[in-house]
Amino acid sequence: METFSQTIEEGLRKRYARRLFKPFARAVAEYGLIEPNDKIAVCMSGGKDSALMAKLFQELKRHNKFPFELVFLVMDPGYSEANRAKIEENAKLLNIPVTIFGTDIFENVYNIEKSPCYLCARMRRGHLYAKAKELGCNKIALGHHYDDVIETILMGMLYGGQIQTMLPKLRSSHFEGMELIRPMYFVREKDIIAWRDEYGLSFLRCACKFTERQADPNGDAGKRQKVKKLIYALKSEDPEIEQNIFKSVENVSLSTIVAYKDKQGKRHRFDEE
């Protein structure tokens, strides 16, 4: 008799191959995210995106043309007992052999007033890099998807006064030999939600202590929600909007920008003429 996890895996090979597995594999191939003998820490937060990423990595491993290893890494930043149990329950349900380690990040950022989510994310990443390196990994994989990318582009422009994006891969400047990869780069959030709902799966959202407070509309999460709504409204008028936002950081015309930043700081283009 087929188990639930086998049903999920069969769905990724057939029903969701075009919408989930193929864009995942495309990002891996197009950006060279996996190389022979890599040992990758697949970082799972307890949410839908990273859970799907883990299953897609398992499926990719079935078809791999060269050897690589996977470690399914869960960092507990201070979850409640119920949320910790939910993560463990989902890992068992999906047949994902997770390695869980604890930190006290939630306690450290709880009283931070300015950009606590940003600080939390940076601290999480640092702990993930450190644990992954301890386990012999040379890469960490995060579950950011296509919608995260285009929202980040607009957030940078509207709230940060800069043009930036989430890169599909990034070498760590603090952990030598470590690289961050984002293999969900081409996967759409609506398809992740469809996959989750079809199989009746339930995941954590943020699960930190800030969710117990009233949401701050001017905080990091509030701004992202505003940008989501803006993109949705624009898309209703022009279906190419999302694709155009995504492509905008691939088609930067250097001859038309006023200034840019590099490791030496801000440079005005006119100073170079």
Q: Is residue 227 one of the residues assigned to a domain?
A: no
- Please determine, for residue 121, whether its predicted confidence score (pLDDT) is greater than 90: no
* Inside any domain, residue 194: yes
In this predicted model, what pLDDT tens digit does every residue of 4-52 receive, in sequence order?
Answer: 999 999 999 999 999 999 999 999 999 999 999 999 999 999 999 999 9
Residues 6+ apart with CB under 8 A from 162: 156
Burial zone of 81 (CB within 10 Å; 0-12 exposed, 13-18 middle, 19+ buried): exposed
- With 0-12 / 13-18 / 19 or more C-beta atoms within 10 angstroms meaning exposed / middle / buried, residue 224 is middle
Beta strand ranges found along the chain (DSSP E):
39-44, 69-76, 98-102, 139-141, 169-171, 179-181, 259-262, 265-268
Instruction: Output the pLDDT for position 214.
Output: 44
Tokens of 249: 């950081």
Q: Is residue 197 assigned to a domain?
A: yes
88-92, 232-236, 251-255, 266-270: which range is least confident on average? 266-270
Q: Is the pLDDT of residue 218 over 60?
A: no
Count structural domains, the chain: 1
Where residue 139 sits, what CATH number does that domain have? 3.40.50.620
Residue 185 lies in a domain: yes
Confidence of residue 211 (pLDDT cuts 50, 70, 90): low
Question: If DSSP codes are grouped into helix, strand and coil, which group holds residue 191?
Answer: helix
pLDDT digits (tens, 9 = 90+) for 141-198: 999 999 999 999 999 999 999 999 999 999 998 899 999 999 999 999 999 999 999 9
| pLDDT class of 273 with cuts at 50, 70, 90 | low
Residue 155 in any domain: the answer is no
What's the mean pLDDT in 98-123? Answer: 74
**Residue in the structure block whose two tokens are 């398992």:** 58
pTM for the whole structure: 0.91
Q: Considering the domain boundaries, does residue 51 fall inside one?
A: yes
